[in-house]
Chains A and B, each alone.
Chain A
Amino acid sequence: MGEAIVVTSGKGGVGKTTSSANIGTALAILGKKVCLVDTDIGLRNLDVVMGLENRIIYDLVDVIEENCRLAQALVKDKRFEELYFLPAAQTKDKDAVQPEDIKKIIESLKPDFDYIIIDCPAGIEGGFRNAVAGADRAIVVSTPEISSVRDADRVIGLLEGANIKNPKLIINRVRPNMMKSGDMMDIDEVCAILAIDLLGVVPDDQQVIKSGNIGEPTVMNPTSNAAVAYRNIARRILGDSVPLMNLDGKKGVFNKLKKIMGIG
């Protein structure tokens, strides 16, 4: 029986879709059977980031309206052994779907997959309620900006209301040099306000934009910092304890040595 994890944030543009794509892909790289579900009906993006846009035949709404079977709507990502994708509809809007519909779909996916990653739309209205309906756990994505943290806080409250306990936090687009100079909220500050477990910190990385544009999740390119961060996050989801990566970007032989010894 698989586990359904919703990736949400409240605020738009903080990296929900990027995080969903990368976490899903990283879990697939680690040998898990993963299904990505895009619930952002009318504004789907996950297919583009994954580079699967041109392979969509049926979508979520087709499944709900029984135009096709669930298995027919799933798009297999051929780059990986066991990565599937259930796209959202682009021609409908969010009212075409009810929370119970999504719940039913997630429940019927669970026996066949280890992880079901649900990409949530921005906002806290119907789309959010749909996405959250079938989830067992939640990952809240926030950037270290006050507006984003405020919305994340609101969403955490709503998740508690929806009976999803202990959501985990990903702090995205971190710029270590700005944090150091005090121009950006630092990680401790964000954690102090949100008061939930930190799942990972993802540095701001140009590679993410680049790979998003060519439809290739960043984790596939292990040289980028963001890729390493997402791989670590995936391992933490599996229960490994992986220390937070050194964001200072100091290379140097000494730092490398420290890293090898596990004290860096």
Chain B
Amino acid sequence: MAKDLHSELRTKEAWNASIAFSVVILLLFAFAFDPSSDQIREFGSGLLWMTYAFAGALVLNRSFARELQNDCLDALIASPVSSPALFVGKALANFAMLFAVELFSLPVFGLFYNTWPPRFAPLFLVMVLGTWALTIIGTLFSALTVNLRLRELMLPTLVYPMMIPVLIAAMTVTTNILAGTAMGFGVRFLVAFDIIFTTLAVVFVDTVLVG
């Protein structure tokens, strides 16, 4: 994890692209919808999570692909570190990066759309749960597609459908938070999803990376 964060902090490749991308998306959405209307509380969460999902894809796509240069991935697999440990390290690094992008784009969203949640604690909770789910799916599929010849095409085809249930749950909860009402069933769904998919990913990462 430290290695990934270190190399990312040094190059800032994914970070810069992802931040720039999220600001551009938020800017474009302002022209697609009327940002001053009252309805912004209803569809604001959708905009926010779509921004996170697409910005996240930029971070996650590079997670394993960056190890391809100089056969670093083979070296990592051959090293005494177990595949699940390698995977969890990568996932934690991705989570930290994606969460940082989200923390940056949240005030941008609030500023552009003049929408602030009444309380921040529940919003951070759903951001942590939702982001972890996106990260775990994204990192696993990044590992799965890393050696494919159609990597750039296969990754979004596989990842986005898997992310849809998470995004729907996260959007519903965020809409409730922005409206100041109870968070609802979505939180339980996110917790269950996180637990199930983290377990599955840790179990299958060895199959995916080593065989």
Q: Please say whether chains A and B are actual partners in one complex.
A: no
